[in-house]
Chains A and B, each alone.
Chain A
Amino acid sequence: MVSLKVNGRTHSVDVDDDTPLLWAIRDNLGLTGTKFGCGVAQCGACTVFMDGKPLRSCVTPVSAVGDSEITTIEAISGKEADAVQAAWTARDVPQCGYCQSGQVMSAVALLTENKKPTDRDIDLAMNGNLCRCATYVRIRAAIHDAARTLEG
């Protein structure tokens, strides 16, 4: 049994210590917004927040999480999350949509740290998130849109 704090609740999960957080979240807690894309921290589809910072859940064993607070796409909230998700919808960013949970998580993390990211900042913050549909033009535009919204 492993204890995990996910989206504000503490769960007891019956998995081995080496189980990646991704699979505990998806298979045991039924939170499937966080996606599997590579299993080796190369694509970012599995991005969650650990204590507010983006983390690749596919390579993070549950034993490494400890008391940290995990937040998944299902529970992100606040003005950055609202601005990002509104911009994503307004721009029609998603195509297949499979990577977009991870993209949104990385974008929210960026805007939480940096209210007015440059293109270079966006490149650095987002280049760990692959999109095989190549929606990158709109991801970039939507992050700038969200930043403008946050500026008020």
Chain B
Amino acid sequence: MTVHDQHLSRRSLLKGAGALVIGLHLPQAARAQSGAGAAFRPGGNATFAPNAFVRVAPDSTITVLIKHIEFGQGPFTGLATLVAEEMDADWSQMRSEHAPADVKLYANLAFGVQGTGGSTAIANSWEQMRKAGATARAMLVQAAAQAWTVPASEIKVEAGVLSHGSGKQGRFGEFAEAASKLAVPENVPLKPASAYRLIGKEGAVKRLDSADKSRGKAEFTIDIHAPNMLTVVVARPPRFGGKVASFDAAEALKVKGVVDVKQIGSGVAVYADGMWPALKGREALKVTWDESAAEKRGSRELIAEYRALARQKGVVAGSHGDAEAVLAKAGTVIEAEFVFPYLAHAPMEPLDGYLQWDGSEALARFGSQFQTTEHMTIATVLGLPPEKVRLETMLAGGSFGRRAQVSQHLAAELAMVAKAIGPNRPVKLVWTREDDLSGGYYRPLFVHRLRGAVKDGKITAWADSIVGQSFFLGTPFEAMVVKNGIDATSVEGANELFYEIADFHCEVNNPKVGVPTLWWRSVGHTHTAYAVECFIDELLQAAGQDPVAGRLALMNRHPRAVGVLKAVAELAKWNGSGPVDGRARGVAVVESFGSFVAQIAEVSLGSDGEPKVHKVWCAVDCGVAVNPDIIRAQMEGGIGFGLGHALYGEITLDQGRPVQANFDTYRSLRIHEMPEVEVAIINSTEAPTGVGEPGVPPIGPAVANALARLGQPRPRQLPMVGGTV
């Protein structure tokens, strides 16, 4: 067990989700989905399908059915790498496509249901996909052995070519049909790591989706067109918790191209024969909202309430020694209160979904991140047995947590929109950017109140009081996920530290607020890493210690954290924080989702007073590095994502209404603000862990810690630039 149990929170949630769904629907669903999977011909014209994941076609192409949604983090390439390695395939043979929704075949082994999250794609597929590949290879070898009447043990496979010492050779496709008639062997041995040709090898593998994505050919949900299809936008309440009181569609219906207007659970839906008439129709629609139950507090009020709550007793999330006693006796208590705003995920492709049904059968196509529960939700809303509903996962233009919906609200809205207009009118539901940014499901607003004491160059006490919404309290998952009053997603990264401090205490308060919130790339670590890594740096500074050496002295029991911190210091040629020539360096080290990442940021103050981040050095230990270049890409992207939000990102509520509605006010990192990034990947034989999220948490505190060495205060309230509260 590591300090911050990697995906405890998400695992338990999804296990919870599985239990919930299975309890309600599963026996029927399992039958159904397998049937749907058979009707759909994944892998096209493949003739050899040894298991749920591998399809070999006569032309020797190998299609890997990917159970995880591809939204940039790389499972199309990563999972195909695992299969190709064990098959001894040539990379040029490999293809990937999304697996259909089928919980029996395609469950995330960390969750028990089909779904993506917690940076688990590689981790939970590591054995499963290698076994799938090894089994396929064994059967192709057996088929060749029979055809050539030679012992299977004498057949070699290299770069997709089977060969025998007698001179016989052939490609996989030639044996696909014969292999399909063989019994599937069990317990086929896997390669030793020393035999890997693709896993961990620089340049051996390229992303399978780059070419299409560079040519506008990749198909996303928003690109779906079908005969007779209607485009739908929904007018939703301006405050969270509002409801439709009444509406007048007369003007909307006069707009050319508007076909119908219907009230649904989430608002009023406008149906049109294209996006522009739908938007004009919505503009012309008159809706009166009932806001009697709506949340009307603004960010300012919430922050004041949270600050007060941070001074009251909370639920103890972690404690040893007696921090209060030490703080009471300390000569000087160092205090820092950090405020984190609501944040939107703002994936480039806003939420959307396509659904067609004829009253008895349905096909849903969208960027589904929790296929099992979304499939069930659609079936339930349409009143169809689950076996009559097919769900195809589409490529999605980002997610960052937004598509992993505890509430299932998108799937439910999609089905409601289809149901309201009736059968035989395919619908494409599209959210605009304004719908997205004003639509809630934010990273929750959080306050951390930290107090610490330093004596004789040593940190003697640490107390953290955390306040913020839990996105499980008040949901059906509460009983399953919130244990002893602790929602792990609120405190992960803060209730246990790498740093050995004799007297330690961490408490949490989860106030109820009517703003829908959700996990956001790296979840609790989005705020805990900032609070912890800024505060440890501040205490070390007070103790007169170097940020790197001081940390290392406190984390002896965490060799992998030590490893990345030492590696990043070496990569950056760390020689203190500076500043040198107006540039200072700040450091942070974080474990999240079982991966360890340390970053050093080199920062100056621009002429406009804004922090300018010139370069970031990053060391990552994610166990076996399956695809080094994708790991680098996720570190680069995680740094950019984390930096953009630390510097500029905030959703502010004014009397309950979100203020930022588009990218003009929800400032997002742009190319000229992106630092140079250099990544070192730790060589490891540990089982692989994820990289989609762990690049995010360290960058904010690394920048803040650099600012502190430039004589600036560490920003206590995010964003660092242009905050409006």
Contact = CB atoms under 8 A, between A and B. Distances in A.
B653 to A, nearest CB: 21
Interface centre among A18, A20, A104, A136 (most CB of B within 10 A): A136
A138 B216 CA distance: 18
A98 B636 contact: no
Contacts of A35: 220, 222, 348-349, 397
B490 interface: no
Given A123-B671, A133-B72, A96 B396 contact: yes
A137 B636 contact: yes
Nearest to A32: B223
Interface stretch (B108-116, B262-270, B578-586, B661-669): B661-669
Nearest to A96: B72
A135 B215 contact: no
A100 B432 CA distance: 19
Contacts of B396: 96
Given A127-B671, A134-B640, A16 B216 contact: no
Nearest to A72: B216
Contacts of B346: 132
B439 interface: no
B368 interface: no
B672 A127 contact: yes
A149 to B, nearest CB: 14
Given A42-B664, A43-B348, A132-B641, A140 B671 contact: yes
Given A35-B222, A135-B636, A23 B274 contact: yes
Interface in B444-499: none
Nearest to B678: A137
Contact of A40 (B225, B275, B664): B664
A137 B275 contact: no
B134 interface: no
A12 to B, nearest CB: 16
Given A97-B395, A126-B671, A136-B674, A36 B225 contact: no
A29 B691 CA distance: 39
B210 interface: yes
A42 B662 contact: yes
B210 A92 contact: yes
Contacts of A37: 348-350, 433, 663
Contacts of B223: 26, 32
Sorted from nearest, which 4 A-B pairs have the closest CB atoms? A33-B216, A134-B640, A98-B397, A97-B213
A93 interface: yes
Contacts of B216: 32-34, 72-74, 100-101, 104
Given A32-B223, A88-B214, A94-B207, A134 B669 contact: yes
A39 interface: yes
A111 interface: no
Nearest to A122: B671
Contacts of B638: 134
Contact of A95 (B72, B219, B225, B668): B72
A48 to B, nearest CB: 11
Interface centre among B276, B280, B433 (most CB of A within 10 A): B276
A20 B560 CA distance: 53
Q: How large is the interface on B (under 10, 10 to 19, 20 to 34, 35 or more residues)?
A: 35 or more
Contacts of B629: 92
A85 B214 CA distance: 6
Given A97-B397, A139-B671, A133 B637 contact: yes
A95 B74 CA distance: 7
Interface in A20-54: 20, 23, 26-28, 30, 32-40, 42-43, 45
Interface string B388-431: 00000001111110000000000000000000000000000010
B318 interface: no
Nearest to B675: A137
B248 to A, nearest CB: 22
A138 to B, nearest CB: 7
B639 interface: yes
Interface string B59-85: 000000000000111100000000000
Contacts of A64: none
5 contacts: A35-B222, A39-B434, A94-B214, A97-B397, A132-B400
Given A33-B215, A89-B210, A132-B641, A40 B663 contact: yes
A20 B278 CA distance: 13
Contact of A94 (B209, B430, B433, B671): B209
A138 B213 CA distance: 14
A42 B663 contact: yes
Interface string A43-82: 1010000000000000000000000000011100000000
Contacts of B670: 127, 130, 136
A38 B670 CA distance: 15
Interface centre among B213, B277, B644 (most CB of A within 10 A): B213
Given A37-B348, A73-B215, A138-B636, A98 B274 contact: no
Interface of A: 15-16, 18-20, 23, 26-28, 30, 32-40, 42-43, 45, 72-74, 85, 88-90, 92-101, 104, 122-124, 126-127, 129-140
A141 B238 CA distance: 42
A100 B349 CA distance: 12
A100 B222 contact: no
Contacts of A136: 640, 669-671, 674
Contacts of B212: 97
Interface centre among B223, B396, B670 (most CB of A within 10 A): B670
A137 B677 contact: yes
A96 B222 CA distance: 14
A129 B663 contact: no
Interface in B158-217: 206-207, 209-217
A47 to B, nearest CB: 11
Given A92-B206, A95-B72, A133 B222 contact: no
A117 B332 CA distance: 55
Given A96-B396, A132-B348, A38 B662 contact: yes
Nearest to B661: A40
Contacts of A131: 348, 640, 671
Given A19-B276, A99-B348, A135 B433 contact: no
A135 B644 CA distance: 13
A30 B219 CA distance: 12
A137 to B, nearest CB: 5
Given A27-B275, A92-B633, A133-B637, A97 B209 contact: yes
Contacts of B395: 96-97
Given A93-B210, A97-B209, A134 B349 contact: no
Contacts of B433: 37-40, 43
B502 interface: no
Interface in B230-263: 231, 256
Contacts of B24: none
A133 B348 CA distance: 9
Given A33-B216, A85-B215, A100-B213, A95 B674 contact: no
Given A35-B220, A40-B433, 16 more contacts: A27-B274, A32-B216, A36-B222, A89-B211, A96-B399, A98-B220, A98-B398, A104-B216, A124-B672, A133-B641, A134-B643, A135-B633, A135-B640, A138-B633, A139-B671, A140-B671
Nearest to B664: A42
Given A101-B216, A134-B644, A30 B662 contact: no
Contacts of A72: 216
A97 B671 contact: no
